Chains A and B, each alone.
Chain A
Amino acid sequence: MKIKTFFYYVIIFIGIGGLLSVISSPLGGSDCSGDAEYASGLGKLGAYKLIKDYRIEQKKGAEPQAYMVSLKAGLKYRFLPVNNPGNKSKMIMSIYMNKNKGMMLATSFNPASKKHYPSIDFNCRTTGTFYLFFEMEGGDKGCGVGMFSVSN
């Protein structure tokens, strides 16, 4: 009986720990590790070679996440946003000239038509450092993986 009580307490405390980790996740329970999205994204790269993946977790109303990327003139780049199945709003990937979103070079979302594209290809003619932004449509919460790949 005493041992049984002891194990009940253990289970309760483990449960509380698990609950806390779920609450802290942007999707409140969905797996935000991005492993499944990463595997799915790899299959969509085609002839493009993966350079880097970005595991994105956005809270509601949070600023877009920005990363620098080095692009080389003469190469073709593919940017692929892969959404977590639990997302209510889709993830948008955009490339800008600078950190202040000075000039947009490419985006996976057309605000005029409200259309999301599964990926964007960018034929680069200018070597330099650019900025990759991730956000959810309407500043919503959500998570996903962004894939950055290249082809010649």
Chain B
Amino acid sequence: MNRLKSKTLMIGAIVVSIVLGACSSSSSEENSLEKEMNQVSESKVKVSKDEIDQLIQSFPSPIETSMIIQNAGNKFNSELLLPTKKLDRFVSSYDKAMAMGAYGGDMGYINIYEKSFVAAEFLAAIRLLSVDLEIDRFFDFEDMIRMAKSSSNIDSLQQMSTESFNSMEKYLREKGRNELSVLIVFGTWLEGSYIISYIAKGNMTEEMRNRVAEQKESVKKIHEILVANSEDAYFANLAKEIKPLNDLYEQVTIETIMREPEMKEIDGQLVFIDNSETKIITPEGIVKDIVKESISLRNKLLK
């Protein structure tokens, strides 16, 4: 009899341990979120983990895109940013993911130029979209908006933006929402490409011409992923929309001459200087056509 009681207690203990273990590994909030994520209607998009990993890793961050714009001597132009009014133009979760990526791209541009007073309305837009997509918990909007409004601690605002987008993207991939990750990356790239193109349109220097042309690989990769997932009507439409741009870029030739880098130790810091060289060959007028098409594509899909 005592043995039986002891066994009962042991089974009870196992059950309690399992329950406690489950509670410690995920909060009830997370469970609820996961449940909601799983309830989202099943998508036809089957972007593999490898594809999305490659896509995300090989795309420049908005910080890099903004830095090259700044390095080329261009001044900040708030008119280039995606309007934050009438967010209801983004209807589906796919529209919202793309818009979120685009506003994230704008945040990179705003942060690099340290125009944090503009950032608050973009953070507000990202907040609304992320709530709809149920990924708002990765952003500390209160703190970020406060920092933006007071124009204080710009470095921290920039870092928080980067960390929030990185955490959100990691979460989406872990939860198998690769299609949203792809669209966020696409939105970010599209916005950056638009800003570069718009500046190049008004000031086609050698530097800006090359910056437009070097987008070739990004366009090719995103086009391939959209085509590969064309079973989904939304992705099929995006593939159709980006095709003319991809066709234009196919006429651009990029040749890289690789050379061993030079290594120097400066004040205990190891510095490698890249000695390679890139040659960009573009037929007459192609870059102008690309610029026109890039601006048109962004305005059609996002504005």
Interface residues in chain A, defined as those with a beta carbon under 8 Å from any beta carbon in chain B: 2, 5-10, 12-14, 17, 42, 49-53, 67-70, 72-75, 97, 103, 105-106, 108, 117, 119-129, 150-152
Contacts and interface: CB of A to CB of B under 8 A. Distances in A.
Interface in B1-35: 5-6, 9-10, 12-14, 16-17, 20-21
B272 A125 contact: no
A93 B164 CA distance: 25
A151 B158 CA distance: 13
Contacts of B10: 9
B159 A42 contact: yes
Nearest to A45: B159
Contacts of A150: 61, 63-64, 67
A6 B277 contact: no
5 contacts: A6-B9, A8-B13, A50-B163, A70-B64, A106-B272
A70 B13 contact: no
Contacts of A68: 53-54, 57-58
A82 B217 CA distance: 32
Contacts of A117: 269-270
A108 B263 CA distance: 11
A51 B57 CA distance: 11
Pairs of residues from A and B, 7 with the lowest C-beta to C-beta distance, nearest first: A9-B13, A13-B17, A68-B57, A106-B272, A152-B67, A125-B274, A117-B270
Nearest to A76: B271
B276 interface: yes
Nearest to B5: A2
B162 A129 contact: no
Interface stretch (B82-90, B139-147, B253-261): B253-261
B20 A50 contact: no
A121 B166 contact: no
Interface residues of B, number: 49
Contact of A97 (B9, B159, B258, B269): B258
Given A120-B272, A121-B271, A128-B278, 18 more contacts: A5-B6, A5-B9, A9-B10, A9-B13, A17-B17, A49-B159, A50-B159, A70-B60, A72-B60, A72-B67, A105-B261, A105-B274, A122-B261, A123-B272, A125-B273, A125-B278, A128-B256, A150-B61
For A67, A124, A127, A152, the residue with the greatest tally of chain B CB atoms inside 10 Å of its CB is: A127
Contacts of B270: 106, 108, 117, 119-121
A35 B64 CA distance: 25
Nearest to A8: B13
A5 B9 CA distance: 8
Given A9-B14, A14-B17, A105-B272, A125 B277 contact: yes
A53 B170 CA distance: 11
A6 B271 CA distance: 62
B71 interface: yes
Contact of A14 (B20, B274, B278): B20
Contacts of A69: 57-58
Contacts of A74: 68, 71
Contact of A127 (B5, B53, B163, B214): B214
A6 B12 contact: yes
B70 interface: yes
A13 B13 contact: yes
Given A67-B57, A72-B64, A103 B217 contact: no
Nearest to B9: A6
A12 to B, nearest CB: 8
B275 interface: yes
A129 to B, nearest CB: 4
Given A51-B162, A72-B60, A127-B278, A2 B67 contact: no
Contact of A124 (B9, B258, B274, B277): B274
A127 B196 CA distance: 15
Contacts of A121: 269-272
A71 to B, nearest CB: 8
Contact of B217 (A123, A125, A129): A129
For B14, B57, B112, B263, the residue with the greatest tally of chain A CB atoms inside 10 Å of its CB is: B57
B59 interface: yes
